[in-house]
Amino acid sequence: MQFTFAHNNFNVLNLEKSLIFYKEALQLDEVRRVEAPDGSFVLVFLGDRKTPHQLELTWMKDRREPYNLGDNEFHLAFKVDDFAAAHALHEKMGCICFENKAMGIYFINDPDDYWIEIVPQRR
């Protein structure tokens, strides 16, 4: 028996705002979409065009309050081949929420305040 990663999920309040963010900040593209027949939810799967791993964004029609992320100690991590360019983009977007210069990493936060770690591609 072998298990493999399929996807991670983030629940979002504003699907369109989140889709714009993930396209601009991380160049993720919509891979597939599932819409409930009654309109109660939409699932959008995003991919990076290089790996099979996906990020599932879940939008719930009746949700009005922000999701409680607790201490937000969980996160996704992305490697980037041009760390300086990524940092400049995220700085321009105003989404850098924490930097650890000693470790050479930083975090961005999405519109729902999920944290995403950016690490340089180590050769």
Residue 122: the pLDDT is 80
The structural domains of the chain, with segments of one domain joined by +, span: 7-61+73-120
Residue 90: the pLDDT is 98
pTM of the model: 0.93
Q: What is the pLDDT of residues 47-88, one digit of tens each?
A: 999 999 999 999 999 999 998 988 877 899 999 999 999 999
List, as one string, the DSSP characters of the chain.
Answer: ------EEEEEES-HHHHHHHHHHHH--EEEEEEE-TTSSEEEEEEE-SSSS-EEEEEEETT--SPP--TT----EEEEES-HHHHHHHHHHHT-EEEEETTTTEEEEE-TT--EEEEEEPP-
Class of domain 7-61+73-120: alpha beta
Residue 74: the pLDDT is 83
